[in-house]
Amino acid sequence: MAGGRGKKNKKGLIYIPGDSVIHCLDPRTKLLMLVVFSIMSFLTTNLIIMTLIFAFIAVLARKSGLFTKWIHSLRLILPLIIFVFIIDLFFSRENSGFELISAQIGFIPLYATEGSLCFSSAMVIRLLIIAGISFLFIITTKYSDFVKSLHKLKVPPIISFSLGYALSSTTTLSRDANNVLDAQRSRGLEFEKGSVLKKTDKLLSLFIPLTVIMLNRSNQVSNAMQCRGYGSAERPTVYNAPVTGAYDYTAIFIIALFLLTVIILSNYLLI
């Protein structure tokens, strides 16, 4: 039973402890990585460059020792990826190249070209880049360390707490959703079967308990903050704050070098 419980706790997008190089980085360094890679995804629509950026993130995931978990987490955005690909393939303004598909479904014209295929593929990779680096940040960064690092950056306490609590909520909300799903399935409710309308009714049995749980938890957090005198000090101190080390400076140098490479490739070599 212990093994089953441990396996259950690993469901969803949660922080997973580890001793890899990525885990040991200062949360501020990982936050910088998240921002820089997200910006890089908007610098170009070239498929080769964007694939290179995503491959670099995949290498970071491999270094974290959580590559399999990271790949599984990307499945969360699979419906969004399919939607974006179809919309950009048939309805984008990139109509260069030879024609791939030309059809009419009712009053909706479907027209795809080589250019729209490249553009839709680039948009999908852009989504994967942003989601990939964000998910890697979540599964390798402890909530408390993230809040402490924001304090070190002189971020106002209310903002640092809000951002940190939002990060931790992805863990608790995922765990609560799995608990509610298991509870409803034990009562004989099957989410996989039935029509779309019936599934909508079944989802209410998931959303209503989750809403109640979230309201109760927010009340508990509010009471706990009041009991601990949160907000009584203008600038609260931080115990055992993260320290920037050699790994962080090396990571920042590599990120800067990679960003420079992407800018050069985008502007001079592969336009």
pLDDT confidence of 195, banded at 50, 70, 90?
Answer: low
- Distance between CA atoms of 263 and 269, rounded to whole angstroms? 10
**What global pTM score does this model have?**
0.75
pLDDT in tens, 238-252: 666 677 889 999 999
Out of 31-45, 56-70, 157-171, 242-256, least confident range: 157-171
Query: What element of type H or E holds 61?
Result: helix 47-64
Query: Which residues does 104 contact at the CB level (< 8 Å), separation at least 6?
Result: 110
- Distance between CA atoms of 96 and 113, rounded to whole angstroms? 7
pLDDT in tens, 211-225: 888 888 888 877 877
Query: What element of type H or E holds 102?
Result: strand 99-105
Query: Which residues does 43 contact at the CB level (< 8 Å), separation at least 6?
Result: 262, 263, 266
Question: H helices of 77-142, where?
Answer: 78-91, 114-140
- Closest Cα partner for 33 from 21, 49, 44? 21
| Tokens at 54, concatenated | 């995503």
Q: Render 198-243 in DSSP notation, one character per residue.
A: HHHHHHHHHHHHHHHHHHHHHHHHHHHHHHTTTTSSSS---SS---
- Closest Cα partner for 122 from 47, 43, 57, 58? 47
pLDDT of residue 186: 84
- Distance between CA atoms of 94 and 120, rounded to whole angstroms? 9
Query: What are the Cα distances from residue 74, in Å, to 28, 134, 182, 183, 227?
Result: 23, 10, 22, 26, 39
Q: Report helix, strand or coil for 115.
A: helix
Does residue 169 carry a pLDDT above 80? Answer: no
Q: Compute the radius of gyration of the chain from its Cα atoms.
A: 22
Percent of the chain with pLDDT over 90: 29
pLDDT of residue 5: 39
pLDDT in tens, 67-97: 999 999 898 899 999 998 888 888 777 666 6
Out of 81-85, 100-104, 166-170, least confident range: 100-104
Query: What are the Cα distances from residue 113, in Å, to 6, 95, 105, 265?
Result: 49, 6, 17, 25
Mean pLDDT (whole number) for 202-206: 75
Does residue 2 carry a pLDDT above 60? Answer: no
Does residue 3 carry a pLDDT above 50? Answer: no
Give the dihedral sign, CA 84/87/90/93: negative
Q: Render 127-189 in DSSP notation, one character per residue.
A: HHHHHHHHHHHHHHS-HHHHHHHHHHTT--HHHHHHHHHHHHHHHHHHHHHHHHHHHHHHTT-
pLDDT of residue 183: 83
Contact 247, 64 (CB under 8 A): no
pLDDT of residue 9: 42
- Distance between CA atoms of 20 and 30, rounded to whole angstroms? 13
From the CB of residue 202, how many other CB atoms can be counted at a distance below 10 Å? 16
Percent of the chain with pLDDT over 70: 79
pLDDT of residue 216: 86
pLDDT in tens, 33-48: 999 999 999 988 888 9
